[in-house]
Structure 1
Amino acid sequence: MNYRIRRDPNGEAPPQTDENWERATLRDVLLEAYREQRRARVWKAVWRGVGLLVFLSVMAGLMGKGGNEDAKPNGAHTAVIDLVGEIGGDEYTDHVAILREGMEAAYENKNVKAIIIRANSPGGSPVVSNVAFEEVRRLKAEHKDIPVYAVAEDMCASGCYYIAAAADKIYADPSSIVGSIGVVGSSFDATGLMDKLGIKRRTRTAGSNKGMGDPFSPETPEQIAIWQQMLNEIHGEFIKAVRTGRGNRLKEKENPDVFSGRVYTGLQAQKVGLTDGTGNIYSVARDVAKAPELVDYTPQQDELTRLLSRRLRAEVKTQVSAWLDKMW
């Protein structure tokens, strides 16, 4: 804001009273305080932005290291790749990518004498399990001189065993839980409760089976048959994969319930042909692979990676935008 001093017709400024002087001084003081406060806000935003950039740079550098730095020792060793948790394909537990990347890294190292898939999972997605099964078999076929062993720890059931069946041999601890070659699809029926409460469901569909599986609507015999056919087909693919992987080692004639969905201990699994023996990653590496040194080839996804999830990145972007707005 510009201020002009009024002058009389002769060009002389009028005499400045004490009141005018006080006003002018107060105005100048307030303007300078405002400017100082604004400068302080700008610099505060600048340093926050610099701090954020430094933080993100450090995080990116740490994540860029990835993997296991000692994954390529000079001597002969056995590569270990973890197959853990519920089988799925989300951002942090894509088991297909974990197995493929880990196996490819192991095959690139001339010192790898064998690969162990360390399995500890209750199963999960049949689709992810089948894709992983096919990928393991494909990689094995391309590198026939490097054997692949699956070693069950606490549990290798359902989808986990589906994947393990692709290995050359399967080993388990005597107390491991192995098998569960079956498919389950579950829901609940709340129609009786709704009748008691006097609640009626209003559902509009185009297609007689569009609402199939809705727990608040009665299920027709035709829909039950459709569900059962779908489960049977998925089960059939599971059985086919196990037969392909295990071959004549599978004693299904003597054990007709092997595909019933039941589980076995490690000792029982060997008797029915689901495994080739008892052991752990140390004994298999030492006694079977003849390369006792173990090196973890599992692609690393540490907590720093999880912190920089898409949700956090969106939040950081919002905060940066807010700080830039304050600066300007």
Structure 2
Amino acid sequence: MSDKWNAPSQDRDGSPEDAKSWKLLEKTLLAGVQEQRRSRRWGIFFKFLTFAYLFTALMLFMPLFGDKKVSGSGSHTALIEIQGMIADKESASADNIVGSLRAAFEDANTRGVILRINSPGGSPVQSGYVYDEIRRLRAEKPAIKVYAVISDLGASGAYYIASAADQIYADKASLVGSIGVTAAGFGFVGAMEKLGVERRTYTSGEHKAFLDPFQPPKADEAQFWQEVLATTHRQFIASVKQGRGDRLKDKEHPELFSGLIWTGEQAVGLGLVDALGSSSYVAREVIGAKDIVDYTIQESPFDRFSKKLGTSIAERLAMWAGFTGPSLR
């Protein structure tokens, strides 16, 4: 009886059967570990393969989103889209619009240029760059006329650009005008007082913390800033008058430069717009070249992402703090 019960004890102490069991268990565990390693390797491989596939697809399709290649075959009307905010690093930046304009004017088969506008305005600097380039190109090649066609909206900086064209067209329900300048911000002084937060600013200049939204406004600084906006407004008005000339009815309507906005139908009577019409109408009936070729520079998603990534942190912080420069909108 004792020998029978002692046999398992001997097996547990190192019998051949126990050794075989441990070897079998060891092999099973090693096989499981090896299987996990193979699974991880295959997982990494398939992830890399997926990434390579997506990257290749992006490279193949990116030209479809890049600059539009235009054909110079046959007489045509050149079309340039101005959509959205007019600002640096945006699709309607001066660099993009000017590049499109130059390409259109350099094509020997361009019979006229249409600026199709749908924009609330934006930077006075960017708008001024485009305005000056339009006038330069018109003087260099007077045979090529420039026509601004306002669709939904042509306000502020967008109208600034339009006023440089030979003629402006719009729909009867388009919104046109808003010849004014704005600079908006916020004041957080009251909120800071309620929260018990103290603002500490150290500067080496009397007005270095100019218009700080976390400090009470100063009358002299507010007056100075108002003069800056007024100067920008005068520059805006002077450019519009230079572009539109005697067509403007500003003497009969002094509110023309007050920042108000009108429909296309009203704008015709004010001299802000020459006539009502669409892009196809202008190409067909005015320019006499119904074939339209789009010269608008279309940035790829990668380019747009790169530009956004390159925007300075200081600029974003300034916007967050509530301070922005003069804007034509």
CA contact (8 A) 1:180 1:263 kept: yes
Change (3 A) 1:95 1:307: closer
Normalising by structure 1, we get a TM-score of 0.78
CA contact (8 A) 1:96 1:135 kept: no
CA distance in 1, matches of 2:127, 2:221: 26
Residue of structure 1 in register with 2:37 after alignment: 38
CA contact (8 A) 1:181 1:260 kept: yes
Deviation at 1:279, TM superposition (A): 1.4
Compare 20-29 and 42-51 and name the one that shifted more: 20-29
Change (3 A) 1:17 1:143: farther
CA distance in 1, matches of 2:147, 2:45: 55
Normalising by structure 2, we get a TM-score of 0.77
Q: SS state of the match for residue 250, structure 2?
A: coil
Deviation at 1:143, TM superposition (A): 3.6
Residue of structure 1 in register with 2:298 after alignment: 300
Change (3 A) 1:41 1:192: closer
* Partner residue of 1:309 out of 301, 305, 311: 305
Deviation at 1:310, TM superposition (A): 4.9
Residues 167-210 of structure 1: CA distance to partner in whole angstroms, max 9, x if unpaired?
12111122222111111123355656777x58575332323323
CA contact (8 A) 2:83 2:92 kept: no
Compare 55-64 and 107-116 and name the one that shifted more: 107-116
Matching of residue 287 in structure 1 with residue 276 in structure 2: no
1:165-184 map, 5 Å = 165-184=163-182
Structure 2 unaligned blocks of 5 or more? 1-13, 310-329
CA contact (8 A) 1:162 1:238 kept: yes
Residue of structure 2 in register with 1:76 after alignment: 75
CA distance in 1, matches of 2:227, 2:242: 22
Change (3 A) 1:290 1:239: same
CA contact (8 A) 1:126 1:159 kept: yes
1:157-236 map, 5 Å = 157-189=155-187, 191=189, 197=194, 201-206=198-203, 207-236=205-234
Residue of structure 2 in register with 1:64 after alignment: 63
CA distance in 1, matches of 2:192, 2:27: 75
Report the aligned-residue RMSD: 3.1
CA distance in 2, matches of 1:25, 1:299: 69
* Partner residue of 1:144 out of 136, 142, 145: 142
CA distance in 2, matches of 1:61, 1:100: 28
Q: SS state of the match for residue 256, structure 2?
A: coil
Residue of structure 2 in register with 1:317 after alignment: none
Structure 1 unaligned blocks of 5 or more? 1-14, 314-328
Compare 177-186 and 19-28 and name the one that shifted more: 19-28
Change (3 A) 1:216 1:308: closer
Residue of structure 2 in register with 1:262 after alignment: 260
| Identity score, percent | 38
CA distance in 2, matches of 1:308, 1:104: 22
Change (3 A) 1:210 1:201: farther
CA contact (8 A) 1:129 1:160 kept: yes
CA contact (8 A) 2:172 2:264 kept: yes
Change (3 A) 1:32 1:199: closer
Residue of structure 2 in register with 1:322 after alignment: none
Change (3 A) 1:111 1:22: same
Deviation at 1:102, TM superposition (A): 2.5
Change (3 A) 1:66 1:219: closer
Please tell me the residue identity of whatever aligns with 1:309. F
* Partner residue of 2:91 out of 81, 93, 97: 93
Matching of residue 20 in structure 1 with residue 19 in structure 2: yes
Deviation at 1:68, TM superposition (A): 7.9
Deviation at 1:54, TM superposition (A): 1.5
Please tell me the residue identity of whatever aligns with 2:305. S
CA contact (8 A) 1:66 1:299 kept: no
Q: SS state of the match for residue 258, structure 1?
A: helix
Residue of structure 2 in register with 1:133 after alignment: 131
CA contact (8 A) 1:125 1:159 kept: yes
* Partner residue of 2:151 out of 139, 142, 153: 153
Change (3 A) 1:307 1:260: closer
Compare 276-285 and 74-83 and name the one that shifted more: 74-83
CA contact (8 A) 2:81 2:115 kept: yes
